[in-house]
Structure 1
Amino acid sequence: MTVLTPTARAAARRHSFWIGMASIALLVVLVTLLITRAGSVTGDPLSPTNAAPVGAMAVAEVLADQGVTVTPTGSLGETSDAASGADEPTIFIVDADDTLVGSQLDDIAADAGHLVLMSPGFGLLDGFAPEIALAGSVSGVLDADCAVGAVDRAQSVLGDGTGYRLVGDAPDAIECLDSGDDVFSLIQLQRDGYLLTVIGTWDAFSNERVAEEGNAALALNLLGGADDLIWYEPSIEDSLVPGAPTVGELTPVWVSAALVTLLLAFIAAAIWRGRRFGPLVVENLPVTVRASETMEGRARLYQSSSARTHAIDTLRIGTVDRIARLCGLPRLATVEEVIATASSITGTDRGRVHALLLGDVPSSDRELVALSDALLQLERRVAHAVDPTSRATTTETPFSESTEETTR
């Protein structure tokens, strides 16, 4: 069977260029998204539960295997409770967003045996360790140069991170990992009842770099000196300065009343000016176009473009649909089923019905008109066969003769 109307596959081939361009553009977008996501930082940096390259899950897992109890915390309250329940634990503070101030550490430092600050900012140092000041960034490999056990065992450390220097009186301070100009990556102080270590080698603790140089030895020995390790990552809840007024307390009394008044005015205006949705209104069209005129217009368009194939296909689709309804066939019935049923009830040769509904291709306007007449006659014969009392008549030229004339 030859399909005369262009199929979906033919239409796709005709627009293959634009389909290909759209597919390439979509592929480029997907690849860009994948590369961006793969190269982006995932998870919290130096988090003990983050297995991404920037996390520190490797250090936490090894410490746990060595018998150290690692307790991640996310607030001052959790850290204080965990510290009070442990025996001189090591508290490791990773304040990546510089949310803490020095005075917030006084309570947890009293219960700590060793307090380790990873790359603390100005606010944390100013209130908690004023003897130490920021001294810029550090990069490159640093050699062990002090008596601190963790540094001595590491021998060399990746120093990428923050540098510090002493600016106050601290006779018992130990300065380690000198990067030049009295800038150190680790400074250790002995406080009343606990040991304070300020360290800036941020990358040395990450999953991606911990296996390089002596980074693992530094991290494990520095954090694994006690049976309990509290890994504290400050959250937004800890960023508020204790005792500071809330937003509500800072807001004048008249602001709330003004906002309520404006809201009521807006609602009143919406009700006043809003359009009420009632029943649909039927509007008269400026011009009434008859269906016959529309059909005639389409026919003239087909004629002007010599679209005989498209015209006969349109007529055949309507004829097949009406014959199927006359014969009581289901909506999903195929054309072959319609041909077989029409041939059976009218007593017409099946090949002739098939040629009329599918096979014949008009090569001139005269043949197109003949095929159209034959389709109309076939539909009338089917209607008469189904209901002899219908108004359909067969007084015209017999269907077989009209089909033979069309074929000739």
Structure 2
Amino acid sequence: MGRHRRPPEEQATYREVFGVAEFRHLWFAQTLSSLGDQLAQVALAVLVYHRTQSALLTALTYALTYLPPIVGGPVLSGLADVLPRRRVMVFCDLARAVLVALMAIEGTPFWTLCALVFVTTLLGAPFTAARAAVLPDILEGDRYVVGAAVNNITHQASQMLGFVAGGALVVALDPRRALGVNAATFLLSALILVLGVRKRKAARDGGPRPGLWRTSRDGARLVFRDTTLRSLVSFAWLCAFYVIPEGLAAPYAATFGKDALYVGVLMAAMPTGMVIGSFLFSRFVRPSGRIRSMGWMSMVACAPLIGCGLKPGLWVVVGLWALAGAGGAYQLAANAAFVAAVPAEARGQAFGLAQSGILAGQGLGILAGGALAQVIGPETVVALAGAAGLSVATMLTMVWTQVRGDVLSSMFAPPAEVKVTASC
């Protein structure tokens, strides 16, 4: 008889996932760095807005946490396939600790600060690709989906807590101290990865290593020549529309008052919704149901933002943004389907390309939103972003209904030995 295999539709549990020691260490490292990142983003947003009183320059600084992938993200992500993935993550953590520490120095000129933010974010591309590529080696089947949900919930919860705590700390302390805390989290993350994640050979170990440019080109061909992968990447990139409110949180909060805590509350709204949505989606929806519901959930991620055009009160805005965040949980299903369709030796590059496109689209969206907010106000910009995103999500859903049958067949077909037993 063959080795026992988990039925394709059997759901894994959170206890199973946290029972894997490597996953716990990878998760803890992510938690530390995510908390520090969100704390730093609030500090940067408030620091720049108070210094310049410009929605455009504030959005520019925030966008610099997304734009660098346009320059080098797809190329640098190939490091996750040609070098050992743990080594890539540790190096990126250490380098970013140094760069963020330089940001915390008093008197750093604005454009120097922008350059440091740019390089720090650029190093996040190979780190994210390596972490995403190594996770399927640690968790298999629906454990991977639940593990990805845990990572997503953790990231969004870290945003929620980090943004609110960041707003409170900026009120009480110098925002540069928050940057120092972020540098320390990178150092701790590197230490945890060294101690808790085992060494693995490079995915393309043995034989000649292709150059990064060739790896990048091959990864792009793999993704864009395949109809399914192209659809899944398009769903991932849809977040370029519904991330715009976060980039406008500071000027949007200024419409309600001058308290920096309002900035943190608004920034935390969408992550809070994402935490709730991701938990419910991974806990109560069967694996095949997640694939089937991707389309309408992507529309929910955009539609509530249209209500901001009516200029409602603060807590109504928070509720609308949180509902949009809950709709964004469809990314869990897109991620799982993407993993199932990509060969292991190209996983780092494919994930890196997808992630770089996500960050690049978000950065451009935030930058465009900041420029428009200078003219027509942040409330109208957020409403327009929701309307545009809903239109794109509707078109993507129409395409997805034509290909999702093949995805469901490939992901949830019963094992061969089960078919034989049934036929007997």
With normalisation by structure 2, the TM-score equals 0.20
**Could you say which structure has the greater relative contact order, defined with CA pairs below 8 angstroms and 6 or more residues apart?**
2
Structure having the higher Rg:
1
Kindly indicate which of the two structures has a greater share of residues assigned to strand: 1
Kindly indicate which of the two structures has a greater share of residues assigned to helix: 2
